[in-house]
Structure 1
Amino acid sequence: GRIQPLAALYRASAQPKLAAAFARGTRRVVDALGHLEVAWWETGPDEFRSMNTPAEYAEALES
């Protein structure tokens, strides 16, 4: 899997560091993470399932 930086918890103290990274021209959140102390954890294959249609949503509800 890939890093999913938007499915995350951030301390309020991370905001100035992230804002500074974006002000310097960083455009990808994953690149801005290099300025933070990060704790990573493994997830299962269904933890962050993509749902783009009503059918995919209905399937997720059933599982």
Structure 2
Amino acid sequence: MSLPYPLGPEFEYVEEGVRILWLLPITAGEADMTTRAGIDVFEELMETQGVNFLDPRRPSVA
């Protein structure tokens, strides 16, 4: 579960008391990397590599 960073902060809170989070499918390697390095490292890699979050066949960033 993560904040919807690519969609901007205005998407996170659609109205007072309503917060949007998203579930992003990740690979086993990405899960392992996140455990070892932290979610911030994973999210930074996703952003810098320009991952298409909507592509179910996207390559792993791990």
| TM-score of the superposed pair, with normalisation by structure 2 | 0.29
Higher strand residue share: 2
Structure with larger Rg? 1
